[in-house]
Amino acid sequence: MLKNILLTLLVLVALICSKTFAQAEIVTPELETKTIVPVPVPPRIQMAILLDTSGSMSGLINQARTELWAVVNEFITVKRDGMAPLLDVALYEYGCSANRKSGYLRQIVAFTNDLDKVSQELFALKITGSSEYCGTVIKHAVDNLTWSKAPNDLKVIFIAGNEAFTQGKVNYKDSCKAAIEKGIIVNTIHCGTMEAGISGMWKDGALISDGSYLCINHNSKAVEIEAPQDAEIVKLSGKLNSTYIAYGRQGKIYMSNQTAQDNNSRRLSVSNAAGRAATKSSTYYRNDSWDVVDAIKNNKMKLEDFKDTDLPKEMQKMNKDERKAYVEKNAKERQEIQKKIQTLNQARKKHIAAEMKKLAGADKSLGSAMIKAVRKQAETRNFKFEQTTQK
């Protein structure tokens, strides 16, 4: 009897519990969802410049030295999807007798945004040799430079010289095919007549790799037009240097090179120095590897990350707040000077463009050939130029 009563009670309890559980509201905690916004990656322009430094090419090297800043400045206003691109420049020499074991070539500078370094090396080049192996140097650039893998980034090689494109053990056709398979355009610049370049297979090399075939007079002096704004721009360039704060063991060396390349440019002409100053006022002149202001601006370093011993003596004596104020002061001054240079440079560019139209044959130099080709090729990758300065 007692056993039956207990069994009945257990059944009643089970029924009550199951009913309560069925009627109860089941509450599950809501999972917090976060929207991850991808950081936009700036587009990139990569240019590898391959220069023949054999005995007859002194004029070509002088043009390269003179027109470096004009080529870089062509991209100051370019954007894609509203973003300014990053610019990488690499420099090779080929035809140099001192580099026989490597196929008479030398990688002078791998891809870098240190434009002062590129300028330094251009001024250090020496003319010597006679064996110009185009296929070999193109292959080395294709295989050994760190090329972007983004399909819409602009990747170009400019090779300039005057001997047959067919020299050397490496077939130029294989090198050019390997380049375009990686999305690298090869532009050939023959230093001589159109006909000689065609028979020497310079045009064929460009056609294989979707590039432009161009001819220049490498012995002519690059055209430089002085503008009324030049002197003031050069003066502002000197003031701009005072806003840089060198850090690290190599900081003072880089800062010294900045001044040295200013002087190299100034020795060429006031116009050239003004062109360099225009580059220094742009986003392409990045020195975050040695300058505190750029390192912080470009998110390479935070102010608190710098060791006392890496900072200049005047900053070592400052406390945290004083350092912050000092860096901000220099950053503000730099921005103000850069804006002044940019405003003056707009007027300068209009003056130069008007004067260039009056000159016959002014577009037959290395720099003008590079600008002509790279503008066209950049537009195929959806880069937009705010102003057209090259006709």
Please choose, from the candidates 2, 380, 372, the residue with its C-alpha nearest in 3D space to the C-alpha of residue 187.
372
**Rounded-to-5 percentages of helix, strand, coil across the chain:** 50, 15, 35
Query: Which ranges of 93-241 does DSSP label H, i.e. alpha helix?
Result: 115-124, 134-144, 172-181, 194-199, 202-208, 230-241
Gap between the Cα atoms of 212 and 288, Å rounded: 34
Domain spans of the chain, in order of start: 44-223+361-380, 230-356
84 within 8 A of 123, measured Cβ to Cβ: no
As to burial, measured by CB atoms within 10 angstroms (0-12 exposed, 13-18 middle, 19+ buried), residue 327 is: buried
Gap between the Cα atoms of 302 and 296, Å rounded: 6
Per-residue tens of pLDDT for the chain, all 391 residues: 544 544 454 445 454 444 444 444 444 455 555 666 666 789 999 999 999 998 888 999 999 999 999 999 988 889 999 899 999 999 999 998 877 778 889 999 999 999 999 999 999 999 887 789 999 999 999 999 999 999 999 999 999 999 999 999 999 999 999 999 999 999 999 999 999 999 999 999 999 999 999 999 888 888 889 999 999 999 999 999 999 999 999 999 999 999 999 999 999 999 999 999 999 999 999 999 999 999 999 999 999 999 999 999 999 999 999 999 999 999 999 999 999 999 999 999 999 989 888 876 566 789 989 998 999 999 999 999 875 444 3
Query: Which ranges of the chain does DSSP label H, i.e. alpha helix?
Result: 2-23, 58-73, 115-124, 134-144, 172-181, 194-199, 202-208, 230-241, 251-268, 270-280, 292-297, 313-316, 320-356, 366-380
Gap between the Cα atoms of 289 and 295, Å rounded: 7
CATH number 3.40.50.410 given to 44-223+361-380: yes
Q: What is the pLDDT of residue 32?
A: 57
Q: What is the pLDDT of residue 9?
A: 47
192 within 8 A of 213, measured Cβ to Cβ: no
Would you give the end-to-end CA distance of the chain in angstroms?
A: 111
For 295, residues 6+ apart whose C-beta sits below 8 A from its C-beta are 247, 288, 289, 301
* Two structure tokens written together for 10: 């257990």
Q: What is the pLDDT of residue 16?
A: 47
For 250, residues 6+ apart whose C-beta sits below 8 A from its C-beta are 289, 290
Name the 3-class secondary structure at 112: strand
Query: Which ranges of 28-160 does DSSP label H, i.e. alpha helix?
Result: 58-73, 115-124, 134-144
45 within 8 A of 378, measured Cβ to Cβ: yes
Name the 3-class secondary structure at 91: strand
- Exposure string (b/e) for 351-366, b if CB count within 10 Å is 16 or more? bbeeebeeeeeebbbb
Gap between the Cα atoms of 266 and 258, Å rounded: 12
Residue 180: count other Cβ atoms within 10 Å of its Cβ: 16
